[in-house]
Every structure is written in structure tokens, then in C-alpha cells.
Amino acid sequence: MAGDAIRVLLVGTGEGFGSDLERDGFEVVRIPDLAALGPGSDQDGVIVALDDVGPLEALETLRLKTPAAAVIVLTAAGNEADGAVALHAGADDHLVRGSIADGLLPRAVRYAVERRRMRRELATIDESTRLPNLRGFVAIAEHQLRMADRAGTPLVLLFMRFNEHEGAETTPTDVDDRAIEASDVLISAIRDADLPARIAEDTFCVLLAGDAKGAEVTVLSRLVEAIAVHDAKATHPRSISLSIGSAIYDPSDPVGLEDLLDAAEGGMRPHSSESR
């Protein structure tokens, strides 16, 4: 983000609010209320006035439509309790109208945006599926590869991406819902000792534990069965279809984790309940 203008969305704050942000080079967009906010906003920060909306409703809407943005709530004097509730619910800061010192607003936004960016970078767990994210997976997988080197036993990496239905329009919530369903199916098909992770929005991987050479055949069979069970139980017309590839880590001819992921991705082919 260094060198780029910070993008700030002002929600219901009024026309006069935020002029110091514009003077400081922020990219400022104003909308009258949360109803005017579309999904998938890519703002760095949001300042939302809690004049006509409750703190929990505001946080829920913003986390749904601007999940990566730092959120600062703005309350009127005397309504500080709403700000405290918002902070407890996950807001990054709380400001009170009429009590914002000169120069404070740009500093507060920069601090909130940077702090949220650092939290995302340091996080090791995917918030939706509660599986390790790429950062968390790499840390554990690198250790597993070194253990395999010492023991001289091969490992198997599965790489899988869930497929979009052609022409389907999706929102961030749709993607997360589908990822949660896919993670449930995945976990039901592997052992407790195996290491699953969500490494991208639509992508999972699993490092099979122990001397796992050949285990990918069993896991793939279980996955197809689990997908069929999911599709049969589904209360909505949304089936799961995954493209899956695998790669073997051979301690006698070691490669880096990135190369192993690339090899597994390169061998992907579709799997669904119709693959049985």
C-alpha cells in the first residue's frame, strides 16, 4: 500500500465531514447510508456514522460487503455507548463528532488501515472455514517436509479448487458459503493427522501425513463419496464440483513446497458426485 492513496468510504457522515482526508491525499467516496453500499467494495477503510443504524447492524453489513476494510465508527456526543458496542463487535476505532482534534482523522484512518493490514498478514487461520490459510499451512508444511526428510518417508500433497457453474454470478458471501461446504466435505474424507488448508478464495490443499504414498487414491475415493452424500442431502440446488491434483514429495529427490504445490496444481482434473 506504500505510495498508493488510501481509499476511504464515508457512510452517512454528511458532506462537510472528511475534507481533511481529501486535503491529505486520501481517495474519498461518500454514500448516504449502508443501503447504497454494493457488495465487493475494495475500500481500504470505512467511516460509518451510527446516527440512523445500530452498531451491530453496521458491523455485520460492512463485514459482509467490505470484509477487508478497516472500520471506524462515528457517533454523536452522548451516544458513546454505541461506539463501545461497535469496538467490542470488531470495529477498528471509534470517533465522536465535535471531539476530533485537527489532524486526528487522517492519522486515525492510517493507523486503523495499517493495523488491519498487519492483522491480515499475521493471521494463520481462514476466518470462514477455520482451516489454516496459506501462511499457516506453509509454516506447518515446511516442518512436515523436514520431518519426512529425516524419516526418509514420502508425503502426498492434494491440491483442489472448487469449480464455478458456468454463467453463475457470485458474491463474497456465496464464495464463503461454498468454501465452508467444501471444507466440511474435505474434512470428512481425510484423517485427523492430515493437514488441510484453504490457501486461496476457491482453493484448498491437504498434506497427507505419514508414509502416505498411494493414500491419495483412498482420499479421492472418499472425497467422491462425501461429495455425493453432500449433494444428496443438500436443501438447495448447489452441488459441489472439485478439480483435484496430487504430487508426491520424495525425500530422496526433495523439492521446495512451492514446486510441490505447482506440481499438484498442474495435475488437476474434475471430481464431482457424477464421478462415481
Residue ending a domain, among 96, 122, 148, is 122
Q: Are residues 185 and 254 in the same domain?
A: yes
Instruction: Tell whether the model's pLDDT for residue 69 goes beyond 80.
Output: yes
Q: What distances in angstroms separate CA 118 from CA 1, 70, 115, 239, 254, one per listed residue? A: 12, 11, 5, 36, 33
Tell me the pLDDT band of 89, cut-offs 50, 70 and 90: confident
193 vs 211, higher pLDDT: 193
Q: Is residue 72 part of a domain?
A: yes
Selection from 88-92, 108-112, 161-165, 177-181 with the highest mean pLDDT: 108-112
Domain limits for position 38: 7-122
Q: Are residues 231 and 197 in the same domain?
A: yes
Q: Are residues 107 and 217 in the same domain?
A: no
Instruction: Tell whether the model's pLDDT for residue 242 goes beyond 50.
Output: yes
Q: Are residues 110 and 192 in the same domain?
A: no
Instruction: Tell whether the model's pLDDT for residue 122 goes beyond 80.
Output: no
Q: Which pLDDT score, from 0 to 100, does residue 158 have?
A: 93
Instruction: Tell whether the model's pLDDT for residue 213 goes beyond 60.
Output: yes
263 vs 218, higher pLDDT: 263
Q: Are residues 211 and 116 in the same domain?
A: no
Q: Is residue 214 part of a domain?
A: yes
Tell me the pLDDT band of 93, cut-offs 50, 70 and 90: very high
Q: Are residues 153 and 252 in the same domain?
A: yes
Tell me the pLDDT band of 235, cut-offs 50, 70 and 90: low
Distance CA 122, CA 31 (A): 32
Tell me the pLDDT band of 74, cut-offs 50, 70 and 90: very high
Q: Are residues 147 and 268 in the same domain?
A: yes
Instruction: Tell whether the model's pLDDT for residue 194 goes beyond 60.
Output: yes
- Residue 23 is part of a domain; what is its CATH number? 3.40.50.2300
3-state helix/strand/coil string of 68-102:
CCEEEEEECCCCHHHHHHHHHHCCCEEEECCCCCC
pLDDT tens digits for range 134-167: 989 998 999 889 888 888 888 999 999 887 654 4
Distance CA 8, CA 249 (A): 46
Distance CA 20, CA 11 (A): 16
- Residue 153 is part of a domain; what is its CATH number? 3.30.70.270
Q: Is residue 127 part of a domain?
A: no
Q: Are residues 155 and 266 in the same domain?
A: yes
Q: Is residue 1 part of a domain?
A: no
Q: Which pLDDT score, from 0 to 100, does residue 2 have?
A: 46
Burial of residue 231, with CB atoms counted within 10 A of its CB: 0-12 exposed, 13-18 middle, 19 or more buried: middle
Tell me the pLDDT band of 211, cut-offs 50, 70 and 90: low
DSSP letters, the chain, are: -TTSPPEEEEES--TTTTHHHHHTT-EEEEESSGGGPPTT---SEEEEE-SSS-HHHHHHHHHHH-TTSEEEEEE-TT-HHHHHHHHHHT-SEEEETT---TTHHHHHHHHHHHHHHHHHHH--B-TTT-SB-HHHHHHHHHHHHHHHHHHT--EEEEEEEEPPPTT----HHHHHHHHHHHHHHHHHHS-TTSEEEEEETTEEEEEE-SS-TTHHHHHHHHHHHHHHHHHHH-SSS---EEEEEEEEE-TTS---HHHHHHHHHHT-EEEEGGG-
Instruction: Tell whether the model's pLDDT for residue 112 goes beyond 90.
Output: yes
Q: Please give the tally of structural domains in the chain.
A: 2
Instruction: Tell whether the model's pLDDT for residue 15 goes beyond 90.
Output: no
Q: Are residues 115 and 165 in the same domain?
A: no
Tell me the pLDDT band of 42, cut-offs 50, 70 and 90: confident
Instruction: Tell whether the model's pLDDT for residue 169 goes beyond 60.
Output: no
Q: Which pLDDT score, from 0 to 100, does residue 41 have?
A: 73
Residue ending a domain, among 122, 151, 170, is 122
Cell of 184: 466440511
Q: Which pLDDT score, from 0 to 100, does residue 1 have?
A: 47
Selection from 176-190, 220-234, 246-260 with the highest mean pLDDT: 246-260
Question: Whose CA is closest to 238, among 198, 209, 204, 272?
Answer: 272
The phi-psi region of residue 259 (left if phi > 0; otherwise alpha if psi is between -120 and 50; otherwise beta) is alpha
Residue ending a domain, among 72, 98, 122, is 122
Determine what percent of the chain is predicted with pLDDT higher than 70: 89
